[in-house]
Amino acid sequence: MLLLVDLDGVVYRGATPVPGMATLLGQRVAAGDTIVYVTNNSRWHRDEYHARLAGMGMPVSPDRIVTAARATALVLTEDGAMAVPDDGRRPTGGRPTAMVFGGPGLARELRDVGLRTVAPNGHGLEAAPDAVVVGVDFSLTYRRLTTAAEAIRRGARFIATNRDPVYPAADGLWAGAGSMVAALAVASGREPDVVIGKPEPRLFEAAAESVGEDPRRAIVIGDSLATDIAAANRLGARSVLMLTGVTTRGQLDAAPAAARPTAVAEDAAELSRVLDAMRD
């Protein structure tokens, strides 16, 4: 089976692994399942996620991690979104340029596919970026927000890695990239041109394509009805909701039938039983 496994709230919460997940995922790999870790969090590069997951004892290799940052970079190059003609806006022509309103991992993923990156500051604005790419930004300031909004008003495309309002950390829920996207949408006067992450299906599609699989045959394991399960339902894939992250039992009970997962698990032990029952 192909398992598309979310990270925040499923594999770990902050720096704390979810109990039993390392053992369970190791057993699934030993049984022949393919695991791709998928996350809307765009702050870190895949190499950093690999080190973190390996340090927690999870079965992982760098090519089995697809972040919203990585998927955004691939989409921007593969669909021609950044292959815009030099219309005089770039001072010196050259490579397409992205202003990164987000973390260092997002900027690095974009550079990995050949894009030039600039920061949301005066020098970045002078570079006349072709796009403003938004992820969770731990360096968020009024000036960075103002500059990114001005770049969009001047004609840059507005690209959102995801619209998660929050994500689970060890000490509670932290503001997610969606909070930055919402602020930028208000400040710039328009909504994003492209959203890559969940609940849009493109992230899961990229993850399945990375291992040559049909995303509709995947089993999505996530902790959010609004993102993980919604994206799985859009794809027509099966899903398991883990009650170890942002979604509560009360929220699940109140959800309409169309928004529900295929199955639910309270913890790793129950997830193991659910996956055994779902095996093709």
Determine the Cα–Cα distance for residues 40 and 278; give it in Å rounded to an integer. Answer: 25
Per the residue annotation, which of 6, 130, 164, 223 is the catalytic one?
6
CA distances from 258 to 74, 233, 235, 238 (A): 30, 8, 13, 13
- Catalytic site residue 137? no
Tracing tokens 């495309």 back to the chain, one arrives at 157
Nearest-Å Rg of the Cα atoms of the chain is: 19
Candidates 72, 3, 10; CA nearest to 36 is: 3
Determine the Cα–Cα distance for residues 240 and 229; give it in Å rounded to an integer. Answer: 8
C-alpha of 139 from chain center: 19
Tracing tokens 């002078």 back to the chain, one arrives at 126
CB 173 within 8 A of CB 246: yes
Tracing tokens 């698990």 back to the chain, one arrives at 265
- Catalytic site residue 164? no
Determine the Cα–Cα distance for residues 271 and 116; give it in Å rounded to an integer. Answer: 42
Q: Angle, to 10 degrees, between the axis of helix 142-153 and the axis of helix 177-188?
A: 50
- Helix, strand, or coil (residue 203): helix
How close are the terminal C-alpha atoms of the chain, in Å? 7
Catalytic site positions: 6, 8
